[in-house]
Structure 1
């Protein structure tokens, strides 16, 4: 399998940066980190865990994990800022040109990472987001129903041609992501935002697992109420936001100062 992942310049630029946002996931993270390393054993990678001000000892667990993993970097928010903020903090700190993301609860299967990388290797250059698609959800019936309803409404309004935007496992280009507008919960609208920016996106079927430890940080009602406000904002961006792509026609060599 060919991993055609461009590298960045610098003292050390891995082929892939894996960003894991986490809030109160102390019991899930050690096994998840082991699985990520096993799945990427043939890929030069770094892992960036972003602790969103957890209060369950996540910081101590990550410190212990980092002691035996030189490729593991740990960031910690000074105050709880949400999953989208944690994701953005990790991407900004990443050294690789391509980013893979997984939720810290262990429900995303790291064994799917090579599948996303292969999809990227087989795709055209203008596909900048590969979104996981949980074909078989391992959640409660009420959560599956709420997610199905939300995905239906979102798809009809945004026309993003994406069956599952809430899946935490994704692969995308770092520069394309950092060009997107940043707002709370923006991670749920990445396909629409990427398409607005002129890039293509692709959904890739992935595995989904039941949560083994802890509990979900979202409830169905709260997510629905926030989602209504988010959808209105994203619709405004799609209708009123202007994105222009410029091609350089005349280029000259210049000296770059250190």
Structure 2
């Protein structure tokens, strides 16, 4: 038996039977965006091997620098399985951008997307791919919300409510009827993905709706009944922040990209800061504190709240952690102090001019929010 010798970057030599390693690209690339899914890598590869038996396929895991060693688990499997590839992203986060990078790394005819948590029913992949090959549709969706589908794998009633709420919102703006627009399990031709990619926002965790709304054609959709299985390892990423990002994506598409998602989220954070500022100021005023001191206290607390929300939500893909978190907070407080003093000064001017406490405080807070955004984007959470 002849062998093909492949030498990886760390000079480890692996032998594969030459006849088992075809030349050229496969017909199907399964893109798996993942974060902290080390325990699920090998079981997923084994499941795909069974589900796609007889087909020419590969799987690309796109890992966002998981602290649990997900990419090392991928590499371990890849050392003995040529169908497995991994992309390790450092300094970037987000499911949608991970899918985009994984899909654009492929030369296959078809792209399939699924989560790395083993909750998607991989046995439906063949039916989805056959639907595409037959020409019946442009996007085949593994759907939990058509006859034969099952959504019971969602962890609890809260996650069911989040998912169902997102579906209702998405169906209001989609140009085609889709029972499960929140699905992360779908397939399409790579050439359609490539044509659509420049139009994608790349934001959030629900790329299917972005694809449908951004495609250069009105896509034909076929939904394949799919069971959403319970998670066996790791933790679900579906939370209220994901849903807020999903809402931002919808607004971005409604405004045709003229209003960036990050600005929309930042505006929400700024509004929260204004409310916090006014609330703290009023509490201090009722305690007998002079207006300048009350406004100073409200401004400081609002800055802390804004920093936490910006780090958690607005700049989720650039989130500061560890020592960078404390350094970012320190820099945020130091640099934004100039905006805070402008906030206090303008609020005092409006108050002296006869405006109510609330109006004066809100005006000053708006000035502070504008400064906060400029600092946040250029100094604190700048893209490396």
Give runs of aligned pairs for residues 244-255 of structure 1, distance below 5 A.
Answer: none
What corresponds to 2:141 in structure 1? 131
| Higher Cα Rg, which structure | 2
What corresponds to 1:88 in structure 2? 100
- Separation in structure 2 between the aligned mates of residue 136 and residue 93 of structure 1, nearest angstrom: 32
More strand by share: 1
1:215 and 2:229 aligned: no
Give runs of aligned pairs for residues 104-253 of structure 1, distance below 5 A.
Answer: 104-124=116-136, 127-134=137-144, 135-137=149-151, 138-139=153-154, 140-180=156-196, 181-183=199-201, 184-185=203-204, 187-190=207-210, 192-193=212-213, 197-219=217-239, 221-237=240-256
Report SS of the residue matched to 1:172.
strand
Report SS of the residue matched to 1:103.
coil
Q: How many residues align?
A: 227
What corresponds to 2:71 in structure 1? 59
Q: TM-score, normalised by structure 2?
A: 0.56
What corresponds to 2:49 in structure 1? 37
Q: TM-score, normalised by structure 1?
A: 0.81
- Separation in structure 1 between the aligned mates of residue 188 and residue 228 of structure 2, nearest angstrom: 20
- Separation in structure 2 between the aligned mates of residue 94 and residue 55 of structure 1, nearest angstrom: 26
- Separation in structure 2 between the aligned mates of residue 179 and residue 150 of structure 1, nearest angstrom: 26
Q: How big is the shift at 1:40?
A: 0.7
Q: What residue ranges of structure 2 are gaps of 5+ in the alignment?
A: 1-22, 259-384
Q: Contact 1:194–1:201 at 8 Å: present in 2 too?
A: no
Q: Contact 1:21–1:103 at 8 Å: present in 2 too?
A: yes
Q: How big is the shift at 1:22?
A: 0.8
Q: How big is the shift at 1:86?
A: 0.8
- Separation in structure 1 between the aligned mates of residue 128 and residue 165 of structure 2, nearest angstrom: 26
Structure 2 CA distance for partners of 1:109 and 1:168, relative to 1, 3 Å: same
Q: Per-residue displacement from partner, 1:138-192 (whole Å, max 9, x unpaired)?
A: 1122111221121112102334311112222211011211222122136141453
Q: Which structure is richer in relative contact order (CA contacts within 8 A, separation 6 or more)?
A: 1
- Separation in structure 2 between the aligned mates of residue 106 and residue 190 of structure 1, nearest angstrom: 23
Q: Per-residue displacement from partner, 1:34-69 (whole Å, max 9, x unpaired)?
A: 100111111011111111111111121111110110
- Separation in structure 2 between the aligned mates of residue 132 and residue 194 of structure 1, nearest angstrom: 20
Q: CA RMSD in A?
A: 2.1
Q: Which deviates the most, 169-178 or 179-188?
A: 179-188
Structure 2 CA distance for partners of 1:195 and 1:70, relative to 1, 3 Å: closer
Report SS of the residue matched to 2:140.
strand
Q: Which deviates the most, 182-191 or 164-173?
A: 182-191
